Amino acid sequence: MWEIAGLWLLVVLAGIVLIACLLLDIRTQEEEAIQRARLSLTLAELQESIEGDLALGFDLPDNRGIPPQLDKALAGDAQLHAIDVVDRAGIALFSTDRGAVGEALQPRVAQAAAAGTRQDRIWSAPLGTEAVMGLPLHGPFGEVVGHISATYAALPGRTQAQRAAGHLRPWLDSPILTAAAGMLLFAVLAGWLAALWALRPQARLLAVARQGRPGRALARAAAVRQRMDDCLVRLDESERAE
């Protein structure tokens, strides 16, 4: 019975852990979707403003109104690390990180930007603990003349959150984990009570058996002592008779 109770408790605990992992996975996906939607909106607003200037005849490298727009957008989102405007070759023309002007995109980011150019869509690429998202910039005739990109703090991945101690803090503060811990404690308590209830008849029989054995032993010992007393009495009577 103890083995059955332990197996049942193990199944319940495994189910709770699985549910907690699924909830964390869903939460991570939702947070990533919200983050991407917010960044997409920021990039789309910058894209519209810059393409409007290009439509008016401004050349992308000579548009000095771009840096203030980038700085304003960066100040409005704490998760953004940098915003860059690069030409079609991937060379930074403007950047909120002034030291990055004139530098080329990282190879992985450049590949994502090239794919975005071919498909004319938003693109993204991981970059260590950061990620880069960008949009193509179109000239007056619809041709791609460059990209607007944002570097931001990527959310900790599911495997990174388990390996890196620095990424564990957000999960420890998660109400989902708090609820899962409460469910786990409840399951342990419920399993312990269920095991006690299931094993109560066996425990009662065991207690009776334990109580019965000493009782029988004492009864036998008392009978032996009585027989010994009777023998001593008879011995005394025989000695007096002699």
Residue 113 within a domain: yes
* Domain annotation covers residue 186: no
Q: For helices 2-55 and 66-75, give the axis angle rounded to 10 degrees.
A: 160
> Tens digits of per-residue pLDDT, 2-54?
555 565 666 666 666 666 666 666 766 776 777 778 888 888 888 899 999 88
Q: Cβ-count burial of 194 within 10 angstroms (0-12 exposed, 13-18 middle, 19+ buried)?
A: middle
For residue 230, the tally of other CB atoms under 10 A from its CB is: 10
Question: 219 in a domain, yes or no?
Answer: no
Judge whether 215 lies within some domain: no
pLDDT of residue 127: 84
Asked, for residue 14, whether it belongs to a domain, the answer is yes
Range of the domain at 55: 2-179
User: Tens digit of pLDDT for each residue in 83-98?
Assistant: 999 998 889 999 998 8
CATH number at residue 150: 3.30.450.20
Is the predicted pLDDT of residue 159 greater than 50, yes or no? Answer: no
Question: Against a cut of 0.75, is the pTM above it?
Answer: no
Within-domain flag for 94: yes
Between 165 and 157, residue with greater pLDDT: 157
Give the number of domains in the chain: 1
Strand 144-153 and strand 130-138: the pairing is antiparallel
2-55 and 175-241 helices, crossing angle to 10°: 170
Q: Is residue 232 part of a domain?
A: no
In DSSP notation, 196-228 reads: HHHHHHHHHHHHHHHHHHHHHHHHHHHHHHHHH
Q: For residues 59 and 79, what is the distance between their CA atoms, to the nearest angstrom?
A: 30
**Could you tell me if residue 227 is inside a domain?**
no
